[in-house]
Amino acid sequence: MSSATATAPELEESETAVETARRQLERAAAHLDVDPGIIERLKHPDKVHQVSIPLQRDTGETEVYTGFRAQHDSVRGPFKGGLRYHPDVSAEECVGLAMWMTWKCAVMDIPFGGGKGGVVVDPKTLSDGEKERLTRRFAEELRDVIGPMRDIPAPDMGTDPQTMAWFMDAYSMQEGETIPGVVTGKPPVIGGSRGREEAPGRSVGIVAREAIDYYGWELEETTVAVQGFGSVGANAARYLDDRGATVVAVSDVDGAVYDPDGLDTRDVEGHDERPGMVSGYDAPETLSNEELLLLDVDVLVPAAVGNVLTAANANDVRARMIVEGANGPTTTGADAIFEERGIRVIPDILANAGGVTVSYFEWLQDINRRAWSLERVNDELETEMLKAWNAVRDVVEERGVTWRDAAYVVALSRVAEAHEARGLWP
Ligand code: NAD
């Protein structure tokens, strides 16, 4: 590890998701011989739908919320991506996140393109009944532009399997038949897949395991810190803990717990099991979330929110490797510093892609009306993750680029080739 302070060439710490996504596309394009027209096209979304959603509150008053669905690219198959309920949702954010979904599906070689949407609302301010009415009306407003062969939403921040159940029901009622394949991440009783909830964390664990092996480290001698012990973080931490790694620190929004001898990750309750339980766990030390990011560990897994690793703290990060559980946890500036310092960053579009991969399995189960066993889901996830890992690793070795650039090269070459094969219409 270099002790000199590295500098980021592009210090743009307030960059938006779409700015980050465009820069990453440009970097990947520089490695490939792709028609500039295709690259230009991929910098823009196919369509962005904006809808108004009137909601009758429990008080009887009507409020109108704004919803979006960004559809980035569908050259390889229907648009796919989550629906977010959050006050910061914007058309621009949806476009950036939809672009990431295009690359994530392509790096996994899943026959989907990228989409993302959401409603500008704080779901904590809504009752269950209000959430249900909002979701049903949102589904109705989007009905013409979604569908199992067109665009398939999924849960994201502020939405969950119940939201998907309402969404699927509203869509199905209007279509006159039950269409489970219109969304993924549903409860298993109505066509959700076994293993979907654990899948993104599991894929983070699988990819971390492969990366540790690739660099000749021993999993049993590897220390890990995980920021965000939620769905992704807890499942990743437990996967690695179960296989012998020492998970020394985990956190929730309120702070981190630290035990240099290793935490029992099965004993620490995840955030959604009981809010506040992570930071309240009885461990030798407590830390702030910022301190967790700077721990002297082998592997750091940011699995909470975006933009936590920035040019402001990247020089102080002491981990030897970062495996991105969250979407977009590393800014462009931090990425450049990590590259200069020789810290490997295994990117989100590969590491947490288990979520969309099992969503694809769910869609297959729905259209075939046949549920898979958990064992089959996990076996096929392992196979798909290894295929993607091997494809990205080959590019790292052939071109000597970072893991992120390699993942983008794999993804962009597949998307660009599909565009070239299909040509421009009309
Ligand atoms: P979650 O709500 O289950 O867990 C988030 C965790 O992060 C919680 O422990 C929470 O307390 C903590 N947290 C929230 N804000 C924080 C902050 N500012 N600082 C530190 N900790 C904070 O969410 P999740 O589903 O695990 O998603 C986490 C990340 O992974 C997000 O970036 C999400 O987009 C990404 N992701 C999720 C999925 C999925 O299917 N769940 C798939 C791919 C990527």
Ligand 1 lined by 100 (C-beta under 6 Å): no
CATH number, position 306: 3.40.50.720
Ligand 1 lined by 272 (C-beta under 6 Å): yes
Which of 229, 232, 294 to probe ligand 1 with, by most ligand atoms within 8 A of CB? 232
Burial label for 290, CB within 10 Å (0-12, 13-18, 19+), is middle
Closest CA to 184 of 159, 206, 207: 159
| Domain range enclosing 257 | 1-367+374-426
Closest CA to 197 of 148, 152, 230, 153: 230
Contact 187, 371 (CB under 8 A): no
Residue of the CA atom closest to atom 16 of ligand 1:
253
Name 379's Cβ contacts closer than 8 Å, sequence gap at least 6.
none
Closest CA to 208 of 297, 313, 105: 297
Closest CA to 225 of 309, 310, 119, 136: 309
Contact 222, 246 (CB under 8 A): yes
Ligand 1 lined by 329 (C-beta under 6 Å): no
Cα separation, 105 vs 205, in Å, equals 19
Cα separation, 298 vs 137, in Å, equals 47
**How far does the chain reach from its first CA to its final CA, in angstroms?**
53
- Token reading at 270: 């995840």
Contact 101, 81 (CB under 8 A): yes
Ligand 1 lined by 277 (C-beta under 6 Å): no
CA of 174 to the centre of ligand 1 (A): 33
Catalytic site residue 116?
A: yes
Tell me if the bond preceding 426 is cis, omega within 30° of 0. yes
Name 416's Cβ contacts closer than 8 Å, sequence gap at least 6.
32, 34, 35, 38, 39, 42
Ligand 1 atom with the shortest distance to the CA of 306: 32
Per DSSP, 125 falls in state G
Which of 207, 231, 269, 301 to probe ligand 1 with, by most ligand atoms within 8 A of CB? 231
Per DSSP, 147 falls in state B
- Token reading at 370: 């046949």
Residue of the CA atom closest to atom 31 of ligand 1:
326
The position carrying tokens 């489970």 is 180
The CA-CA-CA angle for residues 109, 112, 114, to 5°, reads 110
Cα separation, 148 vs 142, in Å, equals 13
Number of domains composing the chain: 1
Which of 124, 204, 252, 292 to probe ligand 1 with, by most ligand atoms within 8 A of CB? 252
Tell if the pTM clears 0.75, that is, is over it: yes
Residue of the CA atom closest to atom 21 of ligand 1:
253
Cα separation, 245 vs 153, in Å, equals 35
Cα separation, 227 vs 76, in Å, equals 34
Ligand 1 atom with the shortest distance to the CA of 275: 11
Cα separation, 35 vs 262, in Å, equals 51
Ligand 1 lined by 352 (C-beta under 6 Å): yes
pLDDT by residue for the chain (426 residues), tens digit each?
333 454 444 444 567 888 888 988 999 999 999 999 999 999 999 999 999 999 999 999 999 999 999 999 999 999 999 999 999 999 999 999 999 999 999 999 999 999 999 999 999 999 999 999 999 999 999 999 999 999 999 999 899 999 999 999 999 999 999 999 999 999 999 999 999 999 999 999 999 999 999 999 999 999 999 999 999 999 999 999 999 999 999 999 999 999 999 999 999 987 676 677 788 899 999 999 999 999 999 999 999 999 999 999 999 999 999 999 999 999 989 999 999 999 999 999 999 999 999 999 999 999 999 999 999 999 999 999 999 999 999 999 999 999 999 999 999 999 999 999 999 888
Single-letter amino acid code for the residue at 65: Y
Single-letter amino acid code for the residue at 56: Q
The residue from 104, 116, 131, 186 that is catalytic is 116
Ligand 1 lined by 228 (C-beta under 6 Å): yes
